[in-house]
Structure 1
Amino acid sequence: MPQTIFCRTLLLTTAALLAGTAQASPVSSLPSVFPQPVAMKLTGPALEIGREVTIVSAEQADPATVALIRGALTAAGVDTIQTARSLPAKPRGTVVVIGTSKSAPVRSAVSRLGGTLPDQREGYALLSGATDNGALVVLAGQDADGLYFAAQTLRQLTERGTMPAVTIQDRPAMAIRGTIEGFYGAPWSMHDRAQHIGFLASVKANTYVYSPKDDPFARDKWREDYPQATLNELKGLIDQARAHHVRFTYAISPGPSICYSNPDDVQALKRKFEAFRALGVRSFYIAFDDIEYTKWNCDQDRAALGEPGERAAGLAQAQLSNTIYSWLKAKDGAEAELMIVPTEYFNTTESPYKAALRQVDPAVYVQWTGTDVVPPAISTGDAKAATKAFGRKTLLWDNYPVNDYGESSGRLLMAPYAKREAGLSDELSGILANPMNQEAPSRVAVFGSAAFAWNDRGYDADRAWKAAARMLASNDAATTAALMTFFDVEHLAPMFGSQPWQPSAPRLKATLDGVADSLAHGSAEQRRDALARLKATADDLASAPDTIRAGVSDAGFIAQSKPWLDALQLWGRALQATASGLSAAEQGSPRARAFFAQAEALATQAEAIQTIPNTTRPQGPIKLADGVLDRFVREAPSLLYVSRD
């Protein structure tokens, strides 16, 4: 055989073998799962789920869990789903075994795949591998909550239509994970709350606290009964939360008017809680925040508790909390749960108030907002100091991304959830994020806070931020990129003061600073390249709103973000005109002045856009990449000489 023919034959044979190997063993990549599991590893090539699946469940799994599993399989291309109580002797296609660690089929399937059963509350194991006739997948929960969270992970694993051969051992780092609707301003609608509870479930959060400051029946009229129509609406939310393994916690704020030593007021509080107990609520919350605690609301308290002051207030609140918790425990046993937020809810400075409040029953959760109302960061050292100050691990009330204070006026707060130190799970009982008046945009930050509370040591703020964008974009790449552009211009996160704890538009600022530097110090070629980058950036800003409107299916996100998207489009066009003006100036063209005038007019239009009336406290003009984009547009005409000819 001539050598050239031999070589060609060898190459063709090798290519065929490689192609055959690729077909038999498709490349498998480690999937992205959020929250990040505690332990996840690939154990083989990707599995074909096929069109026929048998779900094996020896126990009665709850409907929401079963619906999640069926939905994930159907979305992955399965069209026939059968059920069985035990592992079939000769399975056809994929077998999915679900249940808790007590289930015999679950224990057998976990053993067959070489895994271990979960042993922590809300924990789960998810394992998958090939069999002679298809694939075996097992979802093992330590309890019903753990099984539900395993189903949420399965939903993510099957998004690409296949199933990785994988072993996942997972459990939450913190017992309480979720949000507290605790802001001032217009409360969320019932529809918003329903959407939010579904979102919380999808990110393995387990708590929603109903505590809108502007609900009159929870604060100013706390002694009065809710209208029956409102109770009926709330019952729908309570039922939904229970189905999706989210604890609905009812909060009341009696502090502005309560008479602690009046039995009638104590009875009124019990009566209010009893109405929610009748709806199935077992978790309650008493808010003592944002009240005057150096005076009494009634003379009866002076007679019973002495002169008003910090220590007297702490004792009064501790006694009331203990009375209510004892009553709840007598009613509901191990299911009873009580949380409080103290009047001194931030810092860890020792005080007569905190010393008195330490008399609260150790089983009652006490909230703390960090080293300030809106802290720039939270360290494990801070949390350890809080543990000492309050006499227990605190439950973090994280005032991010809430935007109901002056410094946040006109802003959506959409920077990543960051500057919370890994290891906080050792010192906190959980994290409840206080969201914005805008429910759907709040999910960007809450996605991160839930992921951190689940696995603080495995948390990556930037990856979680991008994953939140993919979630909103339904994994569409162009929409995800547009959302990241939007998130960047709404990146500034303020505190109570002039200095933000997260800066304004860091990605855009780096680009604009680079353009300014190139124009100042670069060669002619470098200036042209910089202006090309500027045009591309401006085009991205101008087109992002339309891409988001077309690609984000969540109508609430589009509606609640509307004025910010409108402003972004105008600012993008202003930057396009600025880029054209700089290019014209670079070429010595007198047209530059007209472009700069157009940019100024568009910027003025953008700055005139206001927040949606009656939805935000405080109201005001929309702020977007302020101090970055507005400054560049206004200073651009001075970066190059503009011809007057």
Structure 2
Amino acid sequence: MTRRTGRTLALLLATLAVTPAGADPATLPAIFPTPVEMALRGADTIALGRSVVLVAAPGTQPETLALVERGLRDAGVRTIAAARALSPSADRAQIVLGTGDTAPVRAALARAGTTIDDAREGYTIATDADGAGVVILAGRDADGLFHAAQTFRQLARTGPIPALLIRDHPAMPIRGTIEGFYGKPWTMADRTKHLDFLATVKANTYVYSPKDDPHARDRWREPYPAATLSALGALVATARRDHVDFVYAISPGPTVCFSDPADAQALERKFDALRGIGVRSFYVALDDIEYKKWNCDRDAAAFGPSGAEAAGVAQAKLLNVVQADLLAKDAASRPLIMVPTEYYDAKESPYKAALRQHLDPRIVVQWTGTDVVPPAIAISDAKAATKAFGRKTLLWDNYPVNDYAQTTGRLLMAPYTRREAGLSGELSGILSNPMNQEAPSRVAVTGVLAFAWNDRGYDADRTWRFAARELAGGDPHATDALLTFFDTQHLAPTFGSQPWQEQAPRLKALLDRVRETLADSTPDRRRAALAELARSADELTDASDAIRAGVADPAFAEQTRPWLEALQLWGRALRQTAAGLSAADTGSRAATRYFAEAKRLAAEAAAVRTIAGATRFDGPVRIADGVLDRFVTDAPGLIAIPAPK
């Protein structure tokens, strides 16, 4: 035996001593958003069993403790015993949680031989597999500890927890959504669910800015009715529990007089009322307004003739007054956020130069990228925006919003892609503008927020599949059905004629293979291709029922109802098409009948319309349009059908 062989054998024997014969090896778990650092620390695992000891350090917030307890119960734990400190001889797994400045957590981290991730909102999860095992959840701050609990929720539900170390923190300071679309706003129930969802993907910001809230835009000077203010207060409380900053946005631009102290005072009064229900972050939206003419003669006297540069000066003056008032009333208030009138590119202009020169540097500026709906965003684009606005911008990403004409009949559920890794170095954060349909929006929003958390470690396709599993409550059949559905809603338009995401890439690849096989192949290969086509048709047909039965939140099925109806009809049309091609391939004139039925079903599917009033533009539902409909139309010409004798 050589010396090298001896060392290899010794290493193998040592490994077998840790992992008993027949035991499953420890595997690196899949966590979303992807942690900055995650590594196995050996082959051991910690089984939670039916009873654990929970050591919650002083100051642990109730919602964080409740989240950990819920994760344990979902993992099958039935008894959770409380303790003040680790026991060196516990007969069951111990879970320690708290911030890094507490004694129980410091002691546990020392035992595990690691330290806290010290970035804002950072956390460390470490395991010690000695004895019954210890799992440590340590937050740099209360937010970081809450994020650790969200990661633990994912770890606990996969079975035994492997010996590992996770050190994690967000790449971008601001991560979340802005309810900033036109059309029917979300209901308060939608918003509550959305805030709870944001917590699961470690978001920290939600901006309330529905364009059709009259008290935030057309009648912005008027106070909210008491009932509405109370409902908003309940949302603010939910956001606080979910460690999400509730930002209230107002849109005074269509009527504001920038130089009138009365209008500045009206803004301050509105913010004071919202502060009374717990809001601590505020936003002034100046998008989608006519900024080259004044709303009042007073502005002409104060700022001169109307125009882009004068508008920038006037807007800066008003926003600076509001920012100063916020700080005077609450020294701990977050900086005011604004969206400028020129929000959609980074080209130098008199308006941007005026903002850059006059706007308080503490105020955060939003920017939508190189266009209103940009096909891609590169680091160089963000650098240009920083130069144009004189500060790092907060990206308002208009995906997956579907309130413009090009999105009529569509749900936008492709993976979040074509945003360059490294943008975290040039942006202050990302806010996604979601769809009018809250539950379907979670698919794309999950990707946006995973990118904002760790843009360098982001994997679009894996995150997309994770979003499907979450909606399916972990059910594999429902997950596959959702992915089939998502593929038919893959197209993402821009304001131009060219989409930035293609339609139904998975289905198109299959249909292209079928065309190519029918064009030039042997009979056996043709039969195999047609059998694959029939299976795909069955998947499309059956997906709707699987989704309705399997999604964890019934709101998803309700908000996608016409799309699921049309999907089933298109699946049946493709099933008849496959039958017609198979009949034609064997020389059967029954093909004509099958193709006729496919045509009838396709027409019925194409007539299904969106839910009236649910989006800004109503219209026919689109299902893999340009791909599926084209194949059904072309199929009768792919194989010659025998003529009647």
TM-score range for the pair, normalised by the shorter chain length: over 0.9
Which residue pairs with 1:374 in the alignment? 373
Which residue pairs with 1:67 in the alignment? 66
**After superposition, where does 1:527-538 map in structure 2 within 5 Å?**
527-538=526-537
Tell me which amino acid in the other structure corresponds to 2:540: L
Shift of 1:460: 0.6
RMSD (Å), alpha carbons:
1.4
Which residue pairs with 1:22 in the alignment? 20
Given the alignment, which residue of 143, 149, 161 partners 2:141?
Answer: 143
- CA deviation vs aligned residue, 1:386-415 (integer Å, no higher than 9, x gap): 000000000000000000001000000000
Q: Given that residues 254 and 287 in structure 1 are in contact (C-alpha distance below 8 angstroms), is that contact kept between their aligned partners in structure 2?
A: yes
SS at match of 1:643: coil
> Could you tell me how far apart the structure 1 residues matched to 2:500 and 2:626 are?
15
Verify: 1:423 aligned to 2:422, yes or no: yes
Q: Given that residues 19 and 25 in structure 2 are in contact (C-alpha distance below 8 angstroms), is that contact kept between their aligned partners in structure 1?
A: no
Which residue pairs with 1:598 in the alignment? 597
Which residue pairs with 2:618 in the alignment? 619
SS at match of 2:129: strand
Which residue pairs with 1:83 in the alignment? 82
Which residue pairs with 1:128 in the alignment? 127
**After superposition, where does 1:128-527 map in structure 2 within 5 Å?**
128-132=127-131, 134-358=132-356, 359-527=358-526
- CA deviation vs aligned residue, 1:430-466 (integer Å, no higher than 9, x gap): 0000000000000000000000000000001111111
Q: Given that residues 56 and 65 in structure 2 are in contact (C-alpha distance below 8 angstroms), is that contact kept between their aligned partners in structure 1?
A: no
Q: Given that residues 25 and 46 in structure 1 are in contact (C-alpha distance below 8 angstroms), is that contact kept between their aligned partners in structure 2?
A: no
> Could you tell me how far apart the structure 2 residues matched to 1:314 and 1:261 are?
13
SS at match of 1:430: strand
Shift of 1:25: 5.4
Shift of 1:77: 1.7
- CA deviation vs aligned residue, 1:190-212 (integer Å, no higher than 9, x gap): 00000000000000000000000
Shift of 1:21: 5.0
> Could you tell me how far apart the structure 2 residues matched to 1:379 and 1:118 are?
29
Shift of 1:337: 2.8
> Could you tell me how far apart the structure 2 residues matched to 1:19 and 1:569 are?
54
> Could you tell me how far apart the structure 2 residues matched to 1:52 and 1:542 are?
44
> Could you tell me how far apart the structure 1 residues matched to 2:330 and 2:453 are?
27
> Could you tell me how far apart the structure 2 residues matched to 1:383 and 1:20 are?
50
**After superposition, where does 1:91-110 map in structure 2 within 5 Å?**
91-110=90-109
Which residue pairs with 2:9 in the alignment? none
Q: Given that residues 538 and 575 in structure 1 are in contact (C-alpha distance below 8 angstroms), is that contact kept between their aligned partners in structure 2?
A: yes
**Aligned residue-pair number:** 629
Tell me which amino acid in the other structure corresponds to 1:504: Q
Q: Given that residues 210 and 249 in structure 1 are in contact (C-alpha distance below 8 angstroms), is that contact kept between their aligned partners in structure 2?
A: yes
Q: Given that residues 52 and 92 in structure 1 are in contact (C-alpha distance below 8 angstroms), is that contact kept between their aligned partners in structure 2?
A: no
> Could you tell me how far apart the structure 1 residues matched to 2:267 and 2:410 are?
37
> Could you tell me how far apart the structure 2 residues matched to 1:25 and 1:405 are?
55
Which residue pairs with 2:11 in the alignment? none
> Could you tell me how far apart the structure 1 residues matched to 2:606 and 2:113 are?
61
Q: Select between 111-120 and 364-373 the one with higher mean Cα deviation.
A: 111-120
SS at match of 1:179: strand
Tell me which amino acid in the other structure corresponds to 1:469: A
- CA deviation vs aligned residue, 1:525-583 (integer Å, no higher than 9, x gap): 11111111110111110011111111112111000011001000000000000000000
Tell me which amino acid in the other structure corresponds to 2:442: R
> Could you tell me how far apart the structure 2 residues matched to 1:336 and 1:151 are?
25
Which residue pairs with 2:6 in the alignment? none
TM-score (norm 1): 0.96
SS at match of 1:388: helix
Shift of 1:289: 0.1
Q: Given that residues 520 and 639 in structure 1 are in contact (C-alpha distance below 8 angstroms), is that contact kept between their aligned partners in structure 2?
A: yes
> Could you tell me how far apart the structure 2 residues matched to 1:25 and 1:635 are?
54
Q: Given that residues 253 and 287 in structure 1 are in contact (C-alpha distance below 8 angstroms), is that contact kept between their aligned partners in structure 2?
A: yes
Q: Relative to 1, partners in 2 of residues 1:21 and 1:448: Cα closer, same or farther, differing over 3 Å?
A: closer
SS at match of 2:331: helix
> Could you tell me how far apart the structure 1 residues matched to 2:27 and 2:472 are?
22
Q: Relative to 1, partners in 2 of residues 1:114 and 1:277: Cα closer, same or farther, differing over 3 Å?
A: same
Q: Select between 159-168 and 528-537 the one with higher mean Cα deviation.
A: 159-168
> Could you tell me how far apart the structure 2 residues matched to 1:520 and 1:583 are?
14
Q: Select between 76-85 and 632-641 the one with higher mean Cα deviation.
A: 76-85
Unaligned runs of 5+ in 2: 1-14
Runs of 4+ in 1 over 4 A off after TM superposition: 17-21
Unaligned runs of 5+ in 1: 1-16
Shift of 1:24: 8.4
> Could you tell me how far apart the structure 2 residues matched to 1:525 and 1:89 are?
68
- CA deviation vs aligned residue, 1:471-526 (integer Å, no higher than 9, x gap): 11112111111111000000000001211000010100000011001111111111
Shift of 1:43: 1.1
Q: Select between 358-367 and 377-386 the one with higher mean Cα deviation.
A: 358-367
* % identity of equivalent residues: 60
Shift of 1:89: 4.7
Shift of 1:162: 2.0
Which residue pairs with 1:113 in the alignment? 112
Which residue pairs with 2:3 in the alignment? none
Q: Given that residues 465 and 483 in structure 2 are in contact (C-alpha distance below 8 angstroms), is that contact kept between their aligned partners in structure 1?
A: yes
> Could you tell me how far apart the structure 2 residues matched to 1:360 and 1:307 are?
20
TM-score (norm 2): 0.96
Tell me which amino acid in the other structure corresponds to 2:74: A
> Could you tell me how far apart the structure 1 residues matched to 2:571 and 2:81 are?
53
Q: Given that residues 398 and 432 in structure 1 are in contact (C-alpha distance below 8 angstroms), is that contact kept between their aligned partners in structure 2?
A: yes
Q: Select between 423-432 and 357-366 the one with higher mean Cα deviation.
A: 357-366
Shift of 1:101: 1.2
Q: Relative to 1, partners in 2 of residues 1:23 and 1:275: Cα closer, same or farther, differing over 3 Å?
A: farther
Q: Given that residues 251 and 284 in structure 2 are in contact (C-alpha distance below 8 angstroms), is that contact kept between their aligned partners in structure 1?
A: yes
Q: Given that residues 209 and 249 in structure 1 are in contact (C-alpha distance below 8 angstroms), is that contact kept between their aligned partners in structure 2?
A: yes
Shift of 1:55: 1.6
Tell me which amino acid in the other structure corresponds to 2:434: P
SS at match of 1:245: coil
Tell me which amino acid in the other structure corresponds to 2:626: G
> Could you tell me how far apart the structure 1 residues matched to 2:310 and 2:198 are?
38
Q: Given that residues 76 and 162 in structure 1 are in contact (C-alpha distance below 8 angstroms), is that contact kept between their aligned partners in structure 2?
A: no
